[in-house]
Structure 1
Amino acid sequence: MADFDHAFAALLGNEGGYSNNPADPGGETMWGVTARVARAHGYAGQMKDLPLSFGRAIAKAEYWDVIHGDDLPEEIAFQAFDAAYNGGHPVQWLQQAASVTVDGNFGPVTLAAVLAADPDKIVMRFDAYRLKYMKDLPTWPNFSRGWADRIANNLLRAAS
């Protein structure tokens, strides 16, 4: 099964450090954590100064645990974790990829279906649903190259 620390280290390769792109509706971020999410977790400092350990704790609680990363095979967990972090509907995409009822609730039926399926097919289907969602976002013209590159790198990672 997947390891959070390994997935978080890989995720930082996609997220990087500080960003404040005016075209990004997420606004100011550090380690991929938005100011809104950091504030909701009690962080009151400048986003540029958000400690990595604080960002890591947020990532675990807000994104990894929601997709049940500890219960999934490594590459499936990473795809869902990266998608949760980047924004979207990773539980629904896992459900679609596993051909179960799409209700957005990660329960035992979803877990069993994902675990019973071919992991490569889950990853490919998951990323296809993710791309279909992203292309309809109003921010696609601004971020499509980066998002497509991110997903391509994730697929290459899964294939290695």
Structure 2
Amino acid sequence: MTSRELFDRAIEVVLEHEGDIYTDNPVDHGGATRFGIAQRWNPDLDVKNLTRAQAIEIYWERYWHGHRYEFLPEVIAIKVFDLAVNLGHQAAVTCLQRALHACGLRVALDGRLGAETCGAARRADPAALMAALRSEAAGEYRLRVARSADQVVFQGGWLNRAYA
């Protein structure tokens, strides 16, 4: 499977979780968003008027391409990318690395999706790694709420995403 084919599968999961409604919640640290694309992190975009097709290309160019997701097993790549859209790439990869530790595979906890992390993910038992990854993501979301209590309004949705 090519990187673009894997991306095409992953983006459907992301868009299902993010939806297509423009929101501007004052407690959302990303500011105004549509399709999960935040104005704060993309100040050059007119997020409010994004089309689905534009959002998909933005995700490909800015959030997928060059991040090495295609070197992970398919289901893990999709999950890590979905988490990266919401948590940020480094935090999502750190969740993966912690999950690998939980599966007995020691890798550096550096938030970098390098050869060591990708190789360990390919060696891991897929079901065990996915269970551990979901748990680590849920823990990261809970930690974010603990650090910033106003984020509790997002906790239910975040945990649904973590365990999806």
What TM bracket, shorter-length normalisation? 0.7 to 0.9
Q: Deviations over 1:54-82 (max 9, x none)?
A: 32122123332465222222210111011
User: What TM-score do the two structures reach when normalised by structure 2?
Assistant: 0.81
Is 1:143–2:154 an aligned residue pair? yes
Distance, in Å, in 1 between the alignment partners of 2:42 and 2:111 is: 24
**How far is 1:151 from its partner?**
2.4
Q: Is 2:28–2:151's contact at 8 Å kept on the other side of the alignment?
A: no
Identity across the alignment (%): 32
**How far is 1:127 from its partner?**
1.5
Is 1:90–2:81 an aligned residue pair? no
Q: For structure 2, which runs of at least 5 residues remain unmatched after alignment?
A: 102-106
Q: For structure 1, which runs of at least 5 residues remain unmatched after alignment?
A: 155-160
**How far is 1:90 from its partner?**
1.1
Task: Find 1:118's aligned residue among 125, 142, 145.
Answer: 125
Q: Is 2:97–2:108's contact at 8 Å kept on the other side of the alignment?
A: yes
Q: Residue 57 of structure 2 aligns to a residue in which SS?
A: helix
Is 1:75–2:86 an aligned residue pair? no
Partner of 1:26: 30
Q: Is 1:134–1:140's contact at 8 Å kept on the other side of the alignment?
A: no
Distance, in Å, in 1 between the alignment partners of 2:12 and 2:79 is: 14
**2:87 aligned partner, one-letter code:** G
Q: Is 1:16–1:32's contact at 8 Å kept on the other side of the alignment?
A: yes
User: What TM-score do the two structures reach when normalised by structure 1?
Assistant: 0.83
Partner of 1:158: none
**2:95 aligned partner, one-letter code:** W
Are residues 64 and 119 of structure 1, via their aligned partners in 2, closer, same or farther at CA, if it must alter by over 3 Å? farther
Task: Find 1:12's aligned residue among 12, 15, 19.
Answer: 15
Distance, in Å, in 2 between the alignment partners of 1:66 and 1:128 is: 26
Partner of 1:108: 115
Distance, in Å, in 1 between the alignment partners of 2:159 and 2:151 is: 10
Number of residue pairs the alignment of both structures matches: 149
Distance, in Å, in 2 between the alignment partners of 1:70 and 1:26 is: 26
Task: Find 1:131's aligned residue among 138, 141, 146.
Answer: 138
Paired residues for 1:43-58 under 5 Å:
43=45, 45=46, 47-58=47-58
Q: Is 1:98–1:117's contact at 8 Å kept on the other side of the alignment?
A: yes
Distance, in Å, in 1 between the alignment partners of 2:160 and 2:112 is: 29
RMSD: 1.9
Out of 10-19 and 139-148, give the one that drifted further.
Answer: 139-148
Paired residues for 1:30-41 under 5 Å:
30-39=34-43
